[in-house]
Amino acid sequence: MKLLYVSRVLLILSLLFSAIVSKAQSNDELLNLLIKKNLLTQQEADSLRSDLAVKEQQKRDKEKENQHNISIGSKALQISGLVQARYQGFEQSGVNNAFDLHRARLDAKGNITDQWSYEVYTEFAATTKLLDAYTSYKIADFLKFSAGQFKIPFSYENLTSDSQLEFVDRSQVIEGLAGRSKDIIGNQNGRDIGAQIGGSFARINNRYLFDYTFGVFNGAGYDVTTDNNNHKDIVARLGVHPIKNLDFGGSLYRGQDIPAATTKVPNPTTQARNRYGIDGRYVIGPLSFTAEYAHGTDGTVQKDGWYAQAGYFILPKLQLVAKYDTFDPSKTISTDRSTIYVGGFNYVFNSWTKLAVDYLDKREETATQLKNNILEAQLQIAF
């Protein structure tokens, strides 16, 4: 029996080898011949045909890739983008209502190997700016290294993608303390250049209880060639997820910077730029709650603020949103706190397109209130 089995195997191998070398017969012809000689059953032949078809398709896919083993849409290169066209209607006299391009961005990212990944994210609205440019190496879920230019791990809202915001604008306290438009270092889009480690741990029921990030950054902001001082800033964040859809976070920032020169201070010196904050978010069905508090120190100036917001999908595609947003840029001045009441809605046409409409009722700590309320409408496509 063994001799008969060995003879059959040798005969099959010889026929296969002959077909490969001479290329005189197709795979189907060869399989039909083996069936005819009772060396293969019809079921075995169909199984081989299926395997050969899969391998042939893989070969064709491989041939579509270029010499660097990259093809658009593959894991190695994924292209996405964001366009947000906005209209602002100002109540304040002397300020013109206008359309503008709030954001226009192109994102290229991918995985070179199972461990190595990269991202290059560019802003084209107003002036061209390189937002993100970094590479990461993932050892495991609990440990990933990143180096380059990217968002600092401070604040829930700062780390939220622009396309996923529930309002047209970010909150005042985040704009003021997370390296954005009202920060003392100027608008850095919440980004900096440096290196960080992070990951998730303590997994229960397909969900991690904790995630962490620790980074060291220049502290001078994004898209710059050099640091403005020899000190390096550190940023740390811890996230806690006790139950599904309930998230808490705490962030800490310790750094130094040199503020911009003014007529009163023509040659400013290095000063402290420290922050800390806490945040929480809970989603239950169509209802979501988010709140965040942050405190900052710039030199001797203490500042803080917080926001609380809620969203509710009254229809599968229509979400009503409301927010209370307050920020005090100097604790020693009693008339500079700004509070904004925001109400609006989001209409989600599909997974790519959304219309957001917000009305901002602004209140300042001044004897005479300014007439500076704003109506905003923004059409977004994220692909």
Residue 370: what residue type? Answer: L
HSE-up (13 A, CA, CB side) for residue 68: 7
Residue 242 to residue 247: CA distance in whole angstroms: 7
pLDDT, greater one: 227 or 310 = 310
Q: Report residue 56's pLDDT band, with 50, 70 and 90 as the boundaries.
A: low
Paired strand residues for 296: 275, 303
Q: What is the mean pLDDT of residues 89-101?
A: 94
At the fourth CATH level, the homologous superfamily of domain 78-382 is Porin (2.40.160.10)
Domain boundaries, given as residue ranges, for the chain: 2-64, 78-382
Gap between the terminal Cα atoms of the chain? 63
Structure token pair of residue 156: 């829930």
Q: Report residue 226's pLDDT band, with 50, 70 and 90 as the boundaries.
A: confident
> DSSP states of 161-175 as a string?
-GGG-SSSS--HHHH
pLDDT confidence of residue 121: 97
Q: What is the mean pLDDT of residues 143-159?
A: 98
Q: Are 215 and 230 in contact (CB under 8 A)?
A: no
Residue 209 to residue 228: CA distance in whole angstroms: 38
Paired strand residues for 306: 293, 326
pLDDT confidence of residue 66: 44
Residue 76 to residue 242: CA distance in whole angstroms: 35
Secondary structure letter of residue 211 according to DSSP: E
> Exposure string (b/e) for 76-108, b if CB count within 10 Å is 16 or more?
bbeeebbbbbbbbebeeeeeeeeeeebbbbebb
Q: What is the mean pLDDT of residues 214-221?
A: 94
pLDDT confidence of residue 299: 93
Nearest to 236 by CA among 149, 132, 173, 154: 154
Residue 301: what residue type? Answer: V
Q: Is the dihedral of CA 166, 302, 362, 262 positive or negative?
A: negative
Is the pTM of the predicted complex or chain greater than 0.85? no
CB-count burial class (<10 Å; 0-12, 13-18, 19+) for 363: middle
Whether 19 has a pLDDT exceeding 70, the answer reads no
Whether 243 has a pLDDT exceeding 50, the answer reads yes
Helix (H) or strand (E) holding 299: none
Residue 160 to residue 154: CA distance in whole angstroms: 11
Paired strand residues for 89: 375
Q: CB under 8 Å to 241, separation ≥6 — which residues?
A: 207, 208, 209, 210, 211, 247, 248
Whether 201 has a pLDDT exceeding 80, the answer reads yes
pLDDT confidence of residue 8: 55
Whether 325 has a pLDDT exceeding 60, the answer reads yes
pLDDT, greater one: 40 or 322 = 322
Q: Are 34 and 28 in contact (CB under 8 A)?
A: no
